Structure 1
Amino acid sequence: MLTKLSNKVISDIALLVIRIILGVIFIAHGYPKIFVFGIPGFAKFLGGLGVPLPGLFAVIVSLVEFVGGIVLILGIFSRWVGLLLAINMIVATLLVKVKVGLIAPMDKPGVGAELDLALFACALAILVFGPGSISVELGIFKKEIS
C-alpha cells in the first residue's frame, strides 16, 4: 500500500497527523490555563517558579498553547506556531522538568521531561518542514503565510 503512495503524499499525511495531535494536546493544556485556573492562577504558578513578569507570560503561554493549537490544526501560520510552541516546551522543560529527569519516577507518573521533549520535537518538525499541503496555508492560499 505505502509503495503506491508518493513520498510527498506520505509526508503530507504525516505532517497532518503531527499537526492534529500536537494541536489537540496544546489546546488541552491551554484550555485550563484560560478557562479553569484562569490567567491569574497560572500567573501565580509562574511566579512561584521565579518567572519574571508572570502575568505577562501567563497570557502569552496560555494563548500560544490554546490558540496556537487551534491554528496548528488548521494549518495557518504553522512555522510561526511551531517556533512558539518549541520555545514554550524548551522553557517548560528547563523550568520544571529538568529537576525531575527524563523519565518520570514510578511514584510521580507524568512529571518527567519525556513528553515535553516529544512535543518539542514535533513542534520543531512543523517549524522545519511546514504544514504540508493538507493545510489552509498550502491547500487554499497555495503558499505559506509568513
Structure 2
Amino acid sequence: MNLPRLVTLPHLAAGTDLAFLALRASVGAFLVWGVWDNITSAEHMAKFVKFLRQFGFPAPEFLAPFDVWVQFAIGAAFILGLATRWAGLLCAVNFVIAIVMVDHFQGWRGSFGSMCLIAVGLVLATHGPGRYSVDRMLARG
C-alpha cells in the first residue's frame, strides 16, 4: 500500500473540472435566487432600499437596484462560466462590502456566508472556471 497516495488522494484531481462546474453552478444559482425577489417585486426592492438606508449606505435608491443586478450578473456569469475571473473579483468585493457595512454586527457566525462567498469569488478569480465553461470555449476560439 502506498501511504502517501492514500493520504494525498491525487487521483481525485481528475474531477477538478467537474468540481469547479458544481461550485460555479451552485453558487451562481444561489446568487440569482437570492436577488430574484428584488428583481420581480417592487415591494421587495423597496424593502432592500430601506435596509441599505438603515445601514448607512450612500444613495440607497441607486445602490439597491445596482447591487441586485450586479449580484444577478455574477450569478449568471458563474453558472455559464463567462467572464468568470471578473465575476469572482466582483463577488469578493461585493461581499467584503457586505461584511464591512452589515454582517460584522452579527459577529463571525453572521458574517460566515459572506466570507464563504468572498472565498469562492477569490478561488474563481484566481483559478478560473475550469474546462466546462464559456470562457474555455472562447479561449479555444
TM-score grouping bracket, smaller chain normalisation: 0.7 to 0.9
Moved segments of 4+, more than 4 Å: 2-5
The residue aligned with 1:102 is: 108
The residue aligned with 2:113 is: 115
Change (3 A) 1:51 1:14: same
| Equivalent pairs, count | 132
Shift of 1:142: 2.7
The residue aligned with 1:133 is: 131
Change (3 A) 1:61 1:143: farther
Deviation larger for 127-136 or 51-60 = 51-60
Q: Greater helix percent: which structure?
A: 2
Q: Does 1:16 align with 2:16?
A: no
Greater C-alpha radius of gyration? 2
Quote the sequence identity (%): 31
Shift of 1:33: 2.0
1:123 and 1:143 map into 2 onto residues whose CA distance is 24
Q: Does 1:88 align with 2:94?
A: yes
The residue aligned with 1:26 is: 31
Structure 1, unmatched stretches of 5+, are 104-111
Structure 2, unmatched stretches of 5+, are 1-8
The TM-score, its normalising length taken from structure 2, stands at 0.83
| Conservation of the 8 A alpha-carbon contact between 1:27 and 1:69 | yes
